[in-house]
Amino acid sequence: MAKKAAKKKAASKTKARKAAPAKRKAAAPARRPKAIATAAAPAKPSSKPWGAAGKALDGIRILDMSHVQAGPSATQMLAWLGADVIKVEMPGRGDITRGQLMDMPDADSLYFTMLNSNKRSITINMKSEAGKEVFTKLLKSADVLIENFGPGVMDRQGFPWELIHKINPRTIYASIKGFGAGPYVDCKAYENVAQCMGGSASTTGWEDGAPTVTGAQIGDSGTGMHCVAAILASLIQRQKTGRGQRVELAMQDCVLNLVRVKLRDQQRIDWAAANGGAPKWGKKALPEYPNKTFGEAVPRAGNASGGGQPGNALKCAPGGPNDYCYVIIQPHVWEPLAKLIGRPELVTDPNFASVPARLARLDEVWAVVEAWTSKHSKFEVMRQLNEIDVPCGPIMSMKDLSDDKSLAERGIIVDVPHPKRGSYKTVGCPLQMSDTKVEVKRSPLLGEHTDEILAKELGYSKADIEKMRQGGAI
């Protein structure tokens, strides 16, 4: 009897233990996701002063095989943030932009210098076996490889993704092309081609004019900034997976991403066409557009605002080519604006008092406001409109920006000394970070760091280097 009782008691305890975890699990609070572990994560926050603990990308090495603008704009941003960017160039010529749009003899062009700050340059002949050996050794220490050659160039040079991943499984290989998989995949692209095929040109310009490309380099530098985001995300993911990955960007895709509001408007037009005309809240599908007629696609609308509020560039004194101020009229600013411009009666005038009334006669609205702006300078217009909370901005010419003292004080316009050019201006890093201080350094001369990298970092002797140079490998 005693043995049976003991067995019964033990079985009861075992049953209770099995049941207990389920009860505890049900009662336990939701767990927070684990923080991403990093190889060099400090045990506690740094006690060093802000900006003295090293740059954000210290220790990251990037092999930059890109040229012209899309790739170099990405690697320049990464170099500003502390990455060691080694620009791999062809011996004797280098990046083609060194010699494009030259403004002085025997010196790299501004086109090159303004896209290649803070980098080192090594020249390697990728067609020679010795050159390929050097590149392979560099690849073994590279966190990122980036290129924007034509389709298939890296494969033809003997370095497809599969081999690159085998040489260094931790390397992130980023490529920028004109187009993704599809009918255009083998086509070459330049800035304006990307703008035209990504939806920007068809929606830029005047209603009765030709499609127009924008001065902002959204195809090249825009894609470059998308590439930066992809590379940084890949570096973070590598902390979890331990391996690199293939990153591909198409200029067409990135331009479309930047003009996504026009795809929004295309769907509004499609909806209106499929539902018997304009939406019930307006007389046309896109009431904020000044256009009189609409077809099947989003039209060019001049300087109309791309948002939900009407906007336009209005003439200012003294009437020069850039004496304009862009003004946006939100519903709540109409009354103070009408009073400021000396037309208080428009606050109650049924033709102007409501948003629908103003949208129906935007040309008249802008003419009324422009009669006031044309009497003042663009900066005076900005000052007075900001006092009544009207969003606006003067049209700043490149001369205005180059001479703007506030941009220079913030390091956005920077004077950089150069051994062959003298001092030149460039755009500094627009990312302001409290713990990564950016010092804009000049672009490298062609092959300036070849010997340094080969000797100090790859272990080649002076004799080896000279032999490779004589053989055309570097």
Whole-number Cα distances in Å, 142 to 29, 58, 165, 166, 416: 43, 13, 11, 13, 28
Q: Of 84, 108, 220, 265, which is the active-site residue?
A: 220
Whole-number Cα distances in Å, 352 to 186, 200, 276, 361, 386: 54, 32, 28, 8, 22
Three-state DSSP state, 138: helix
Residue 220 annotated to the active site:
yes
Whole-number Cα distances in Å, 305 to 147, 234, 262, 300, 327: 36, 36, 11, 11, 9
| Residue whose token pair is 């490309």 | 213
Measured distance CA(316)–CA(373) in Å, rounded: 5
Measured distance CA(391)–CA(338) in Å, rounded: 15
Task: Report residue 187 as tokens.
Answer: 């086509």
**Around Cβ 345, how many Cβ atoms within 10 Å?**
10
Measured distance CA(269)–CA(249) in Å, rounded: 29
Torsion of CA 350, 355, 361, 363, to 10 degrees: 120
Three-state DSSP state, 246: strand
Where b means 16+ CB within 10 Å and e means fewer, 239-260 reads eeeeebbebebbbbbbbbebbe
- Which residues are catalytically annotated? 220
